[in-house]
Amino acid sequence: MEKVARGSLLGIEHLEAAEIAGILKLARQMDTRKPRPLLRGKRILLLFYEASTRTRSSFEIAAQSLGAATTLVLSSGSSIEKGESLLDTVYTLRAVGADLIVIRHPNAGAPQFIATHLDIPVINAGDGMHEHPTQALLDAYTILRHKKTITGLNVAIVGDIYHSRVARSAVQLLSKLRAKITLCGPPEFLPEVATTLAPGLQISRTVEDAIRGADVVMVLRVQKERLAGMNVSLDDYITRYQVTLPRLRLAKKDAIIMHPGPIIRGLELTWEVADCRQSVIVEEVRNGVPVRMAVLTRALGGRR
């Protein structure tokens, strides 16, 4: 990997299990509503080239809870609309005094690209179909609030694996912590390289087989346009892969059900599943704040 500023978080791929554990531990310390002005005087730029609700708001709240000033730059309404390049945009943000840039971009590799041209840390808030490292960290954090350890847990990931940066980051993180992962979705949504993403990955043809005995069921968003683009009918997807209560009953009794959001009720999961006792979907959003506080503190080296 080319040289980037210390504290950058570009993907899970380059993180060691010990670093992951360190971030999760720091997140636990951050998990209070007590003000912690560790980053007072720092300027955090949030550069979003794609839509976002949870990721953007939780990064902003995390930064402000640490006493940092935040500025949001969206592709619409900025000079990006006038055709300014990505690199010229980030040089501008650096010139106005950014100490750190959080970026979401539709192109895989965009955070890595800007990080190699900047002397400040860059945090990847989702790049194309590549990675979404803070989502994987908050998912691990959420699992650990319900399970003693991730090692040996059976995790089923169901939905559009192929287009999902959430799946890519989750698979890497959970394999580094030695979970047993089973992927499930229409073959069109399972990358050929799926099993090479991490050692020991299983692929299940039926959702029943994937969910049976699972400790964690992670459901991914499924987009109607993508189903159409892959020639998979909506009805067929729902019949074969939708996570329903009867299917969820095949999982362990104390299994948790996760989804990175935004959820499409009635497509990848039913209303009952989204709102059931085992659903931690809202808790995941909540946990995004302490986890992102930890990632920002690690990047900007605030004293604890």
| Residues of this chain that bind ligand NCD (CB under 6 A) | 54-55, 126, 132, 135, 165-166, 221, 260-261
Nearer to ligand NCD, 105 or 221 (CB): 221
CA angle, 121 then 25 then 166, to 5°: 60
Query: Rounded to an integer, what distance in angstroms lies between the CA atom of residue 274 and that of residue 282?
Result: 9
Report phi then psi at 257, rounded to 5: -115, 130
CB of 165 to ligand NCD, least distance (A): 5
Q: State the nearest-atom distance from the C-beta of 220 to ligand NCD, in Å.
A: 6
Question: Cβ 169 to ligand NCD, closest distance in Å?
Answer: 9
Min dist CB 95 to ligand NCD, Å, is: 29
Q: Which is nearer to ligand NCD, 99 or 139 (CB)?
A: 139
Residue 202 CA: distances (Å) to CA of 56, 113, 163, 246: 33, 32, 18, 22
Q: Of 260, 150, 255, 244, which Cα lies nearest the Cα of 213? A: 255
In the bound state with ligand NCD, the residue whose beta carbon lies nearer, of 96 and 234, is 234
Shortest-Cβ-distance residue relative to ligand NCD: 221
Asked if 117 and 142 count as a contact pair (C-beta separation under 8 A), the reply is no
Least spacing, CB of residue 261 vs ligand NCD, in Å: 5
Q: Which is nearer to ligand NCD, 68 or 258 (CB)?
A: 258
Output b/e per residue, 40-60; b: 16+ Cβ within 10 A: eebbbbbbbbbebebbbebbb
Question: Please, what is the minimum distance in Å from the beta carbon of residue 132 to ligand NCD?
Answer: 5
Query: In angstroms, what is the minimal distance from the CB of 172 to ligand NCD?
Result: 15
* 43/49 with CB nearer ligand NCD: 49
Q: With respect to ligand NCD, which residue has the nearer C-beta, 43 or 221?
A: 221
Kindly tell me which of 43 and 132 has the beta carbon lying closer to ligand NCD.
132
Q: How far is the CB of 269 from ligand NCD (least distance, A)?
A: 13
Nearer to ligand NCD, 12 or 38 (CB): 12
